[in-house]
Structures are given as C-alpha cells and as structure tokens.
Amino acid sequence: MKIIHHALVLNLHQPAGNLQELLEYDPWETYEILYALDRIPRMLWGYEDVARVHLSLSGILLETLADPEFQSRVYGVVDCGSLLWHYQNLALFRILGTGYYHPVLPLIAEPDREEHLRRWQGIASHLFGRSNFQGFWPPEMGFSMELIPLLKRLGYRYVVVDSDHVEAVTPMPWHELRYRPHIARHGGEEIIVIVRDRDLSDAQESGTELSWFEQEIRQRTRHCDFVPLVTTATDGDNGGWFRNPELQANFWGMYRELLAHLHAGTGAIFPVFIEDFLDRYGTAGEVHVNTGAWNTGWHHGHGFVQWTGSQAQRDGLARAAETSRAVHDARWKAGERHPEDQGLHNQLEEAMWHLLRAETSCNFYWGEAWVERAHRDLDECWSHLNQAITRISE
C-alpha cells in the first residue's frame, strides 16, 4: 500500500479580552470555545502511538489561559491549567511559533514583527518548558518572502504557507509542488516551506466524512512517485465543525475514526509530525511564495483585502505604522540618553504593548467593526509615549 503522510495543523487564537468579555455577555460562547480547546487532547488520549497534531496558540490566548483570575472564573467549565499541561504532551503535539497578538505580519512595521515573535517565544518557553519550536505559523497565514531572515534568526526550521501563493522555481509538476516540502530563499537566508492544501483544508474546516477525505487524498496524490506530505490547516476552535460536542457532527469524530483504522491495520493515511517527515525525507526543490494570506469565508487571501478593503482599515494600519516609528525612535533615544531611568523604560514598554495589541489581525478582519479597538490602543500608546518623550527631552 502506498504511504501517504498527513500533517494536521490547528490555529488557536482569541483576541485580547474576548473570552473575558464573552463571559459577561454571552457565557455559552465562551464555554463552547473552551470546550473546543479542551476537546483536542481528550479526543487523542489512547492514540498516542498514531495521533500527530500541530498547534499554533497565539500569545494572548496563552496569556489568557495562564491567567489565574481567568482560570478561577471558568474553573468547573474547563481547567485551563490542566489544559496547558496536556498541550505539553510531545507524543501528541508539536507547538508552532507565531505572533503574540496574532498580527498579519506583512501589514505591520518591520521592527514590530520581531517584537511579536520574541514575546511569543517568551511566554511559550515559560509555559511549555522548552525553547525549541521548529515550525512557524504566520498569523492568518499572512506571509511574504522578506520574513525569511527574521524566522531564521529566531531559530525556525520551517514555515507553513498556503498553496495558492506557492510557485515553483525548480521545475516540477503540481502534485510535487503541493505535496513535498521545499526551500524558499530571500536575503541570503533560506527556510523550509510546508505547503497547506487549501482545498482539503476547506473540507477540514466545514466538515467531511472520512471516506471522502481519504478518497480525495488518494486521488490527489495518485501520480506521486515519492512519499507525499499532505498538510491541512484550519482554525481549531471556531465554527460548528469544531465546536459541536456531538462526535458524529464534529471534526474529532472523523479524526478518531481515521486513528481507529490505523489501530485496526486498515488505515491509508498516516499522521506525522512535520519535523519527523523532514528528518526522514528531506526537501525537494526551490519555490517562491507570493505575498498573501489564507482564504477566509468570503475572500481568497490575495492582496490582504480582508484587512485593507476599506479606508478606515487602511487608515488604522497607517496610524499603527506611524505610531511604531515614534515608539521605536523614543526607545532608541531613551537607551542612548537615559539608560538607567527604569521608570522611563517602563513607560515605553507600556506604549509598546498597546501598539502591539492594536496590530492584532482581528481589529481589521471584521471590516470596520473592530477598527476602533485598534485606535483605542493607539490612543493609550500615545498617552504613554508623549509622557516618555517629555522625560527624554528633560
């Protein structure tokens, strides 16, 4: 039987304050989200020998789940401390690096990208007890080639990108382009690219039967004269297919059926950790990844129109970029002129946190509905920044 490997990637993110706010106004939705998060390890217990899942958890979600006050508020619904412990199970999970506040990285100022990524590494290293995270998940799959040197500098081995944006540099047929890892190069650096199958990921997101899923994978890989890696990636805590508690109407019912077939010796699709696949099979050719994001419910991800389609969205992003320049300039001057003034540096740190939170993708995702949230954080940022600038000038 032909070996087909499957890499499952789940993105988990809730914007700052969202779960706390929902507890006040719509507690059942908070419970649904928490149940979806808690269901992930529980559905895999007993399948540690065959189950393999990659998780991307935004820094703000990790912060929320680790917050003692939030933990106490939802205790009896989900034990968030135990949940974080279960995610540390290396037999079942690999944690992918990402951005702290889940920004669309190509849409924010270059210095802020590193701030988001380093701060995520800080909280993830603390909560998961390790600093080696080989894979990177770009929030909203928003990727551009200029990110490669930064990802390499921060120690990442591979990045997951969407199939709709990948073009071959080394001549290859479409099935090799989509179902083998490749190398992408920029600025004298290179990184391994893992290609997400957009069509199969759509099915994973909206719901499908295992028989269809397996048949579709077989058909798509039938011409592969190599061991293919089929990668599907979606949110893991949004939508009815992941939130529905009934196994027959839930992704995990389908996935557990796949695992049960493997236990019975009748399985055709073999889950794998991406790093293990790379260790065994390596990479194929070179590719170029066009700038773009994944597809949303009503947009294909080209041009980031989901986040930049209106003037209000563009104005908000432009103000964030202007604010970023001012914050980084003030930090540089403070370090040069007042290196020992801890109060000044604390004030600039407050300004930075508000700037980064303003850049979260959710503030620009919903058309103009949440743009004001970005402006509120930018207002707070400038409040701290103006006080800091006054102190710098003294």
- Domain membership of residue 320 (yes or no) is yes
- Would 299 be classed as within a structural domain? no
Helices 210-220 and 198-206, axial angle in degrees (round to 10): 180
Q: Say which CATH number the domain at 275 has.
A: 3.20.110.20
Low-confidence ranges of the chain (pLDDT < 70): 1, 297
Question: Do 211 and 353 fall into the same domain?
Answer: no
Strand-pair partners of 54? 9, 94
Are 261 and 320 contained in the same domain? no
Instruction: Judge if 279 and 316 occupy the same domain.
Output: no
For residue 302, tell me if it sits in a domain. no
Q: How far is CA 27 from the centre of its chain?
A: 25
Last residue of a domain, one of 258, 289, 320: 289
3-state secondary structure of 234: strand
Check whether residue 320 and residue 285 sit in a common domain. no
Distance (Å, whole) CA 75 – CA 258: 32
Provide the domain count of the chain.
2
Same domain, 93 and 195: yes
183/126 same-domain check: yes
Q: What is the pLDDT of residue 92?
A: 98
Q: What is the pLDDT of residues 153-206, one digit of tens each?
A: 999 999 999 999 999 999 999 999 999 999 999 999 999 999 999 999 999 988
Q: pTM surpassing 0.85?
A: yes
pLDDT, position 134: 98
Three-point CA angle 96, 101, 105, nearest 5°: 75
Same domain flag for 127 and 276? yes
| Structural domain boundaries, residue 30 | 4-289
Residues 217 and 344 both lie in one domain: no
Q: Contact, 277 vs 162, CB < 8 A?
A: no
pLDDT at residue number 300: 81
Same domain, 71 and 105: yes
Residue 196, pLDDT score: 98
Beta strands in 147-298 (DSSP E): 158-162, 166-168, 182-186, 189-196, 229-235, 269-271, 287-289
Answer with the one of 229, 255, 289 that is the final residue of a domain: 289
Task: Tell me whether residue 186 is in a domain.
Answer: yes
Which residues neighbour 228 within 8 Å (Cβ) at sequence distance 6 or greater? Answer: 4, 5, 175, 179, 180, 221
Over residues 294-309, the pLDDT tens digits come to 988 677 878 899 999 9
User: Is residue 177 domain-resident?
Assistant: yes
Residue 301 counted as domain residue? no
The answer to the question of residue 207 being in a domain is yes
Last residue of a domain, one of 289, 324, 352: 289
Is the separation of the CB atoms in 52 and 96 below 8 Å? no
As a whole number of angstroms, the distance between CA 94 and CA 55 comes to 6
Quick one: 271 and 314 in the same domain?
no
In this prediction, residue 2 carries a pLDDT of: 83
Q: Same structural domain for residues 318 and 182?
A: no
Asked if 183 and 328 sit in the same domain, the reply is no
Q: Any bridge partners for residue 4, and if so which? A: 269
Q: Report the candidate in 19, 16, 15 with the shortest Cα–Cα distance to residue 34.
A: 19
CA–CA dist 170, 394 (Å, integer): 58
Can you spell out the DSSP letters for 257-320? HHHHHHHTT---EEE--HHHHHHHH----BEEE-SB---BTTB-SBTTHHHHSSHHHHHHHHHH
Decide: 151 and 136 in contact? Cβ < 8 Å: yes
Question: Is 300 within a domain?
Answer: no
| CA 218 – CA 367 distance, rounded (Å) | 39
pLDDT at 156: 98
